[in-house]
Amino acid sequence: MPESHIVAMGGGGFSMEPENPLLDDFVLGLARRRKRPRVCFLGTASGDSDTYVRRFHEAFSPSRADATHLRFFERTVRDLRAFLLEQDVIYVGGGSTANALAIWRLHRLDRILRAAWHSGVVMTGISAGAICWFEDGLTDSFGMPYRALNEGLGFIRGACCPHYDGEPARRAVLRRLVARGFKSTYAADDGVALHFVGSRLKEAVSSRPKARAFRVHRRGTEVLETPIPVRYLGQWS
């Protein structure tokens, strides 16, 4: 059976660090096809933003990958399953996680994504594109303040919180939720990606030397932030 990979980025990648390709190159290195892998961008969470789609193609085309995208607000792909199972990487952009999940489920894309994941297509994304793979997450999909997402795709057990250092209010809200019984949560700073093989965390990698990751969970009445070792992908200066 092919290995199933998920790379959940707390922040970074082409949309946040256009001059720093370390996380995106890490993802491409996991693809089944190493020479010009097929990479499909899902910008559903941003309403298929033309600017976001264009920036994706600028970052990945033509030398790094065979880049394409899938729109739902102007859908042209008829056979979603065949189209996505032909890809090597599915890259989910940031935005409203809740809106993306609702649209995907309407088109039954949730089932297709799971089939693609099991077939060896690498699943990745930033922010909403990180949260969506988990059972739950901390989101601003419903406006502020942050709140629990509920009903993620559930490929990985527990919850995800991106931008743990980049949006400081997230930490306080997450700790309150966990104290009240919220699921154990993977929290990732901007520049950190959590790499899962199957549904198990293999490692955390980063595009920034001091970026961190944690497992935020409750033990008794205490909320703990257990550090996850992070491997910096660049050269130490």
**Which segments of 111-151 are extended strands (E)?**
122-126, 134-139, 147-148
Write out the catalytic residue numbers.
127, 163
Distance CA 75, CA 20 (A): 31
CA gap 144, 129 in Å, rounded: 19
Residue whose entry in the numeric block shows the structure tokens 């899902």: 42
Task: Mention every residue, 6+ apart, whose C-beta is less than 8 A from residue 47.
Answer: 73, 95, 99
CA atoms of 123 and 63, how far apart (whole Å) = 21
Given a contact cutoff of 8 angstroms between Cβ atoms, the answer to whether 78 and 31 are in contact is no
Of 217, 153, 162, 167, residue with least CA distance to 191? 162
Phi and psi dihedrals of 67, rounded to 5? -95, 140
